[in-house]
Amino acid sequence: MSNFKIQGRQMKEFYMNLALNEAWKYQFLTYPNPAVGCVILDKNGKILAIKAHEKAGLAHA
């Protein structure tokens, strides 16, 4: 990931969009459960993991 500085609301929206985009990949595979994405960051905002609930009956994000 390139080095760029975002802060506050813009930063929260950026990471939320990453989680939503990851969840969207599995939108129709998780039924009857919702598609859920997750972004895990370290204390400096570095992304450690991006995952989603991939299929009904499997582990969740």
Domain ranges (residues) in the chain: 8-52
Compare 52 and 58 and report the one with higher pLDDT. 52
Per-residue pLDDT at 58? 81
Per-residue pLDDT at 6? 65
pTM of the model: 0.78
Distance (Å) of CA 17 to CA 23, 32, 35, 51, 56: 10, 23, 14, 13, 22
Distance (Å) of CA 53 to CA 9, 11, 15, 18: 25, 23, 17, 14
pLDDT in tens, 5-57: 667 889 999 999 999 999 999 999 999 989 999 999 999 889 999 999 999 98
Half-sphere exposure of 19 (CA within 13 A, CB side): 15
